[in-house]
Amino acid sequence: MSKLDISVVVPLYNEEESLPELVQWIDRVAVANNLSYEIILIDDGSTDNSWSVVERLKTLYPQIKGLSFLRNYGKSAALYEGFRLAEGEAVFTMDADLQDSPDEIPEMRRMILEDGYDLVSGWKKRRYDPISKRWPSKFFNLTARVVSGIKLHDFNCGLKAYRRKVVKSIEVYGEMHRYIPILAKHAGFKRIGEKVVEHRERKYGVSKFGIERMVKGYLDLISVSFMSHFGRSPMYLFGSLGTLMFLFGGVTTVWVIAKKLIAQANGLVWRGVTEQPLFYLALVAVVVGVQLFLAGFIAELVNRRSSDRNSYLIDKQL
């Protein structure tokens, strides 16, 4: 049984100005609601004085846990390590830029503990981002809803609450932090809720994300969808496609040859097998089918081997 009411995991990259205010805010909310807490600050290879600020805050707030990567690994790596350290009954994630409000914590915790949700995702219904970010985000979220079947309006909202068992059961890697709800659902945690949360204007610094974020988002969506359906048995996909391609190519090749032989035997006009484009298409289908089948077989072998995918070089830890 956990002794802490909440854990707040905060990935950060060059956020030295906002950290003191964020920690004070979380502490104020926790004290006002009589919640025991810890704040886990994950410095994702910052190049400013963020880690020095974390060390100073640690002397003021013993509830802080700090961890600094040797280089920038990305938000997913930071969340993975934060989840590993979290001990709270309910685990929260939020960005360090003060655009997420800690005032949302008590109600989201209630939804986890009393309403029985496994995960509650924030929905920034009213956003202060420029239209160049809002509309692509709407389209992206629509696509994610259709593909995943999870009815969330804002998959990428950094403010989320989890039952502790959830964060200890999922593996966040690559750039999959956007799709933690999908990973949770795939792991068996299907009670996923949503809460409209306050979105605040950025007070310090600049956004760390550019247009490439949308491109990566769609590629990640394809990846997580594949992993959700075929991650354990890639042969089901590659083997099935390979078999169909091989059968199509093989049957077509036999048909082309048989048609030519029958016409020749009956004295009819016939075309040479190698003069027919369909014959070459059939051969290509056979070759591609074999390659797909072998790809599935190799993927199965790789999948059976344990991989140290989440090995990050940690520079410092408090």
Q: Got the DSSP string for 177-245?
A: GGGHHHHHHHHT---EEEEE--B----SS--S--THHHHHHHHHHHHHHHHHHHSS-THHHHHHHHHHH
Q: What is the pLDDT of residue 129?
A: 63
Residue 118 has pLDDT above 90, yes or no: yes
pLDDT at 182 over 80: yes
Q: What is the pLDDT of residues 259-316, one digit of tens each?
A: 888 888 888 878 888 888 888 999 999 999 999 988 888 877 776 664 445 556 666 7
Measured at the CA of 228, the angle between CA 226 and CA 229, to 5 degrees, comes to: 70
d(CA 94, CA 112): 16
Mean pLDDT in residue range 99-124: 94
| Residue 208 pLDDT class (50, 70, 90 cuts) | low
The structure tokens listed for 309 are 């995918």
Q: How confident is the model at residue 251 (pLDDT cuts 50, 70, 90)?
A: very high
- What is the pTM (predicted TM-score) of this model? 0.74
Q: What is the pLDDT of residue 315?
A: 67
Cα 173 to its chain centre, rounded Å, is: 7
For the segment 160-166, the average pLDDT, to the nearest whole number, is 95
Sign of CA dihedral 23, 27, 29, 35: positive
Residue 4 in contact with residue 39, Cβ under 8 Å? no
Q: Which residue is associated with the tokens 């400013």? A: 48
Mean predicted lDDT score pLDDT of the chain: 85
Q: What is the mean pLDDT of residues 196-210?
A: 72
Q: What are phi and psi of 40, to 5 degrees?
A: -105, 110
Q: How far apart are the first and last CA of the chain?
A: 24
Q: What percent of the chain has pLDDT over 90?
A: 48
**Mean pLDDT across 164-187:** 86
Please report the pLDDT score of residue 269 as a whole number. 78
Instruction: Compute the C-alpha angle 106/10/40, nearest 5°.
Output: 90
CA geometry: angle 215, 218, 219, nearest 5 deg:
85
Contact 50, 19 (CB under 8 A): yes
Output phi, psi for 239, to 5 deg. -65, -40
Beta bridge partner(s), residue 92: 8, 161
What is the pLDDT, as a whole number, of residue 150?
Answer: 87
* Closest alpha carbon to 41 in 181, 170, 22: 22
Report the pLDDT averaged over residues 86-108.
Answer: 94
CA distance 272 to 267: 14
What is the amino acid identity at position 126? R
Helix/strand/coil percent split, the chain, to 5: 50, 15, 35
Highest mean pLDDT among 69-83, 115-129, 143-157, 198-212: 69-83
| Cα gap 111→120, rounded to integer Å | 7
Residue with tokens 């992206």: 140
Encoded amino acid at 108, one letter: M
Residue 1: what pLDDT? 46
pLDDT in tens, 1-59: 457 999 999 999 999 999 999 999 999 999 999 999 999 999 999 999 999 999 999 99
